[in-house]
Amino acid sequence: MKSGGFKKTKLPTATIYGDGKVSAMPGATSFKLKAATKMAGISLAAQYGNYSQDQTNFYGGKDSSEFDLIVGTSLGAIDAKLIYMNFDHKGESESHIRAILSTKF
């Protein structure tokens, strides 16, 4: 899928880290595979995104990929989400863990 723009998007090929940073760049070609389920009040999702960028001013015009693992549940009035992200570019990988606690008020 070709995309255009430099901002956060709702593209179906966008991953957590790659959204707006990679998938929305002009000339980017991308795909995403995602599987999700819910068991015993816990939501689980895994997704893999792959990006090709043909402009040399962004990451040298090379391919990059991302794998995300997302676990979520409700703890009473608090929603909890734990996200593992691994972004790979030109064989260099960086991983991040994000924890989100939220409530409605």
What digits encode the pLDDT tens for the residues 20-35?
666 667 777 888 899 9
| Rounded distance between C-alpha atoms, residue 48 and residue 83, angstroms | 13
- Confidence class of residue 2 from pLDDT cuts 50, 70 and 90? very low
Query: Which residue type sits at 52?
Result: S
* Beta partners for residue 37, in sequence order: 44
Report the predicted TM-score, pTM, of the whole model to 2 decimal places: 0.77
8 A C-beta contact, residue 12 and residue 28: no
8 A C-beta contact, residue 49 and residue 79: no
Q: How far apart are the first and last CA of the chain?
A: 38
Q: How many CA atoms lie within 13 A of 2 on its CB side?
A: 4
